[in-house]
Chain A
Amino acid sequence: MRSFTGIADFKPTDGSYRLLPFRFHRLDKLNEILVNECGEFVVAPLGTTETIVRKKLLPTDNIYPTLKAKHFIYDDYSSALLDVLASKYRTKFDFIHGSTKLHIFVVTLRCDHSCHYCQVSRQTVNKGEFDMPREVAEAAVKMMLETPSPHITLELQGGEPLLAFDTIKYIVSIAKPGAARLSKELDIVITSNLAFLTDEILDYCNAEEIKLSSSLDGPEFIHNANRPRPGGDSYRVAVEGIKRARRALGANRVAALMTTTQLSLQHPREIIDEYVRQSFHTIFLRPISPYGFAVKSSHRTGYDMDAFLEFYVTGLNHIIDLNRKGYSLTEIYTKILLQKILMPEGTGYVDLQSPSGAGLNVLVYNYDGDVYATDEARMLAEMQDYTFKLGNVLKHSRAQIFTSPAFVNLLQAACNQSLPGCSDCAFQPYCGADPVYHHATQGDMIGHRATSGFCKRNMRVIEHLFSLLQNGDPDTQDILWGWVTDRNLAEIRADIPQ
C-alpha cells in the first residue's frame, strides 16, 4: 500500500499571491462587489479589496480560495490557469464573431401614424418619393449578404413598411435565394403598426416564414395618446392586428415593443397588465431614445432618468409578482443584464455591448441607400446631423463603409474598456458603450459619465439586480434565473430541489 502526504504539503506560501485584473464598487453600507474581466463577481464586506491589495489576505481566510477559484488572485501553489481565464474571456466575447447580425431596411418613410417619439415618418401620399427603389434594395441586400455571419436577421421597417408591400416582396425575393446560395440562415422580421394588414400579407408572411413585430405602448388611453393616427384608433388597430397575425402565423411569430413616454411613466402596472391581457410573455421596459422629435417635443415625451428608473423598478416588481402568481412574463432588458451577470456567455444586444453594436452588430439601410450605424443614427440624420452616416450602398463597398471616417471615429468611442469613467467601473463587463447616445445627448461620442443618462440607468439597474440576486426571496431568484435559462417558474421549480 502506498502512503499518504499531509495537507501541509498542499498549501500556498503566505503572501505569495498576486492580483489578476478586477474592479470593485461599493454596493451598500456593508458590502462591496469585486468583478473580474469575465464578469465573475464576489460580494464581500467593505474593505475586502483593500485587504487584498495591501497583501494582508491569508490562505486560511475563507475568501482566499474563492478569490483564487474565481480568477481574482493566483499564488505559488499552482498555475493561474490562465488558459481557462482566456477561454472564459473568449466565451464572453464570442458574440463579436461574424460581424453584423442585424440588418435594418427602411423600405419607406411613409406612415399613417404620427407618434410623438418618432422623427422620420412622412404623411405623404406621393408614392415613390420616400420608398426604397429597386436598385437600392439590390445593393443593400448584396451588402447584407457579404456579412461573414452564418446567421443574419433582416428587419424590414419604415415608416410603415406595409405601405410599401411590393418593395418588401422584392427585397425578400432576392434576399432569400441569396442567403440560401451562401448557406446563411436568414430570419426576416417586419416591424409594423399592423394598420394595413391584409389576408394577402398574412398569407405571404406565413409562406415566407416572416415574423411580425408591432408596437403596443400599453392600454388604450396610453397607446392612442402616444401613437396618434387619423381616427384616433391606433390601439384598436394594433390589438386587432396582433390577434389576426397570431391566428395566421402562430403566437410565437408575433411580438410587440413598447416605448415609454412621460404619460407611460405614471402607469407601469397598467402597461404591463395590458401585455398580460394581450397574452404576451415578454415585455421590454424601454426608455425613449433621446433623439429627434423626442428631444424637440420634450414637453410631451421627455423625462429624466430618475423618473424612468422609478418606472422600471415598480414595473419589474410587478412583473416578478405576475410570475410568482403563475403568469410567465420576461422583462427583456433585465434578462439581457442577468445573462451578462450570471452566465459565462456574452450577449450581442446592440444597445448594450462593448464593442458597441453600432455598425458592428447592426446596420441600417435607409430608403435612399444611405447606410447608418444604428437606427438612432438615422434619426439624427433626419435632423441634419450626419455624424453616423457611413456611406451609401450605391456608391460604397462594404469595405469602404467599414473604413469610412465616420465609422473609424465611432469605433474610437465604442469600447467601454477604454472609456473614461468606464475603464475602472466594476460593472464594465455587464455594460456597453453607446457613442451615438452620448453624441446625441452630450455632443461628444466619448461623453461624460457623471452626467450620462445611459450610465445612470445602467448603474442603477445593475445595482438593483444585484440587490435582488443577493436579497431577493427564493421565488424572485428562481424567476430571474428562469429568465436567463428560458424556463418559467413552474419549470425551474421542477428542476431544482423543492
Chain B
Amino acid sequence: MRLHTAGTARGFRKPLVVRVTTEPLTDIERKDAALVLLSLDAVPNDFRGYAALIIQGKVDGQSISTPLIHSVRDIDHLSSGHVVVLEPLNGFIRTLYRPESRHNTLFATERCNSNCLMCSQPPSDKDDIAALSERNLKLIDLMSPAPEYLCITGGEPTLLGDRLLTILGKLRDVMPCTYVHMLTNGRRFAWANFTSDFAGVRHPSFSVGIPLYADHAALHDYIVQARNAFDQTILGLHQLARHGVEIEIRIVLHALTVPRLVHLAEYICRNLTFVDHVSFMGMEHIGYAPRNMDELWIDPVDYQEQLEKSVAFLARFGIDVRIYNLQLCVLKPSLWKYSKQAISDWKNTFTGVCQACSVRDRCGGFFHWNTQAQSRGIHAVA
C-alpha cells in the first residue's frame, strides 16, 4: 500500500492539505480540492478555484498560478476523497486520509517525554506541534465521509496541551459518530487540572490506549527510559477513571515485560479495576527495537505459558482481553479466541509458509517489518 509519492513543487510556500479528486469538479466544489491529471495537455485549461494540481507529466513554461506538483512518480494510488499533504520544499505528497480504510490516524507530534526501548516510532525533539496541529485541524475539515474509527497517535499527543483539547473538541463537533482512540503514555494525566480539562471536552465516543509494562516503578521506568513515568501513568489512569474516560491498557511483550507479566495482570485487577480492555501486543521489529534486540528479544513461542496465565487471570476477573500482532501459529490455541486482526491494512503481510496455512483467513499476519525477526514457531497450521 503506497502512502507517499513525490514530484516537483511549484507555486506554493507552505504545506497544503487538500482533498484529491481524479474527476474535474464544478466551481463550487473546487475549494480545498487537488485535481489529479496525467498531463496539462489532456484537459481544458480551466483550473480556477482548485487548491492545487497533481500532475504526472512534466510541466514547464506554462503560466499557471495554481499551486502544483508535477513530474509525480506514482499517482495510481491517489483516489477521489483521499486527503493528502503537499510539501513545497521537496515535492512530497503524503496521504493523510483514506475514507475506505479502517486505520486512519491523526499524527499529533513526533515529540515524546518517554523513550521506550522498543519504540516502533522513535521520537524526534524538533518542535512540530504548531505545524502538525494546524495540519490536523485542516485534515479534520476535509475528511469526508467521516471515518468510523480514528486513531490519534504520535509521539505523545498530550504534549500538545491545549491544542489537543482544540483538536478533540473539533472532532466532537464535526464527526461525533467517529470513534476516537488516542495512544498516549498517560503521564500527563497525573495532573488533575489537565485531565479535568481534557475530560471536559466530553467527546461522546472516545478512549485512550495507555501502555503499562510492569507492576512496579523501577522496571516500567527503565523500559520507557523515564524516571517517575510509572507513578505518573498510574496516577493518570486513576484521574482518567475518575472522569469516566474509557481506558485500554496496552502491554508490549518482550524479554523485559514477560517475567512479571502475571504480576502485572494481578496488579491491573487490584489497582486499575476500572479499565475496559487489556491488550497484549507482539513487539514490532522496527524503530528502536532492532537496536535493543539483545535485551528485548524473546521468541513468542517461549512466553506462551506466561501469556496464557496472565490472560486467564484477567479474564477470570472479568476484564476484556485482546491479543494483537501475534500469528495464530505461534499462539497457544487456547489463546486464539483473544487474537484480533488489527494490523493496519498497509502494514500486514504473510510469508511463504503462510500459503499452505488453514487458518490464514483468521490470522492477523505480520507487520511486514516483522518478517525480519520471526519466531521459530512460524508454520502452516494444518
Binding site for B on A (CB under 8 A): 1-2, 4-5, 7, 9-12, 38, 40, 59, 65-66, 68-70, 77-79, 81, 83-84, 87-88, 91, 344, 477-478, 481, 485, 487, 492, 495-498
How many residues of chain B are within 8 Å of chain A by beta carbon?
Answer: 41
Q: Contact at B218–A78, with CB atoms within 8 Å? A: yes
- Contacts across chains A and B counted by CB atoms under 8 Å: 92
CB distance from A5 to the nearest CB of B (A): 6
Q: How far is the CA of A28 from the CA of B275 in the complex (A)?
A: 35
- Note all chain B residues with C-beta closer than 8 A to A492: 316
Q: Which of B248-303 contact A (CB under 8 A)?
A: 260, 263, 267, 269-271, 273, 292
Closest to A66 in B: B263
Contact of B263 among A12, A69, A77, A91 (CB under 8 A): A69
Q: How far is the CB of B128 from chain A (nearest CB, A)?
A: 16
Q: List 11 A-B contacts (CB under 8 A).
A: A4-B117, A5-B222, A5-B225, A7-B222, A10-B218, A10-B222, A78-B231, A83-B235, A485-B316, A487-B318, A496-B315
When distances are taken between beta carbons in the complex, the residues of chain B under 8 Å from A485 are 316-318
- Closest A residue, CB atoms, query B227: A10
Q: In whole angstroms, how far apart are the Cα atoms of A10 and B230 in the complex? A: 11
In the complex the two chains form, what is the Cα distance from A498 to B292 in whole Å? 34
A2 contacts B218, C-beta separation under 8 Å: no
Closest residue to A12 on the B side, CB-wise? B218
Which residue, B214, B227, B270, B334, has most C-beta atoms of chain A within 10 A? B270
Query: Measured between alpha carbons, how far is A272 from B217 in the docked complex, in Å?
Result: 49
A109 CA / B106 CA spacing, docked (Å): 71
Interchain CB contact under 8 A, A65 and B219: yes
Complex: A1 Cα to B124 Cα, angstroms: 7
Q: Within 8 Å CB of B215, what residues of A?
A: 65-66, 69
Whether B216 contacts A65 by the Cβ 8 Å rule is yes
Q: Are A78 and B225 in touch, CB under 8 angstroms?
A: no
Nearest-neighbor residue (CB-CB) of B295 within chain A: A7
Contact flags (1/0) for B48-87 with A, using CB distance below 8 Å? Answer: 0000000000000000000000000000000000000000
B334 touching A498, Cβ below 8 Å = yes
Q: Across the interface, do B335 and A79 meet the contact criterion of CB distance under 8 Å?
A: no
Say how far A206's CB is from chain B's closest CB, in angstroms: 33
Contact status B115-A2, CB under 8 Å? yes
Q: Which of B20-67 contact A (CB under 8 A)?
A: none
Q: Is the CB of B263 within 8 A of A65?
A: yes
Query: B115 is contacted by which of A4, A9, A11 (Cβ under 8 Å)?
Result: A4
**Which residue of chain B lies nearest to A59 when distances are taken between CB atoms in the complex?**
B218
Instruction: Determine how close the nearest CB of chain B comes to the CB of A485; give it in whole angstroms.
Output: 5
Chain B: CB-nearest residue to A481: B316
Main secondary structure of the interface of A (DSSP, over half): loop
- Given A485-B316, A485-B318, A497 and B334 contact (CB-CB distance below 8 Å): yes
Question: CB-nearest residue of chain B relative to A486?
Answer: B318
The CA of A2 and the CA of B337, in the complex, are separated in Å by 39
In the complex, chain A residues whose CB is within 8 Å of the CB of B245: none
Name the contact of A4 in the complex, choosing from B225, B270, B315, B337 (C-beta under 8 A): B225
Task: List the A side residues contacting B125 at CB < 8 Å.
Answer: 2
**Which residue of the partner chain A has the closest CB to B214?**
A65
How far does the alpha carbon of A481 sit from the alpha carbon of B235 in the complex, in Å?
Answer: 28
Tell me if B156 is interfacial: C-beta within 8 Å of chain A. no
**B368 nearest CB across to chain A (Å):** 22
- Apart from A2-B125, A4-B225, A38-B270, 10 more pairs, CB < 8 Å: A2-B115, A4-B115, A65-B218, A66-B263, A68-B217, A77-B218, A78-B217, A492-B316, A496-B311, A497-B315
State A1–B117 Cα separation when bound (angstroms).
Answer: 12
Chain B residues contacting A79 (CB-CB under 8 Å) are 231
B123 touches A2 (CB 8 A): yes
Q: A10-B218, A78-B228 known; A84 and B317 CB under 8 Å?
A: no
Chain B 322-360, CB-CB to A under 8 Å as 1, else 0, gives 000000000010110110000000000000000000000
CA distance A88 to B312 in the complex (A): 23
What separation, in Å, do the CA atoms of A477 and B263 have in the docked complex? 18
User: Which chain B positions have C-beta within 8 A of A4?
Assistant: 115, 117, 225, 292
- In the complex, are the beta carbons of A497 and B312 less than 8 A apart? yes
In the complex, residue of chain B having the shortest beta-carbon distance to the beta carbon of A478? B316
B286 to chain A, nearest CB (A): 14
Task: Give the Cβ gap from B114 to chain A, nearest Cβ, in Å.
Answer: 10
> Given known contacts A10-B227, A485-B317, A498-B334, is B218 in contact with A70 (CB within 8 Å)?
no
Residues of A within 8 A of B270 (CB): 38, 40, 70, 88, 344
Q: Nearest Cβ in chain A — how far from B277, in angstroms? A: 13
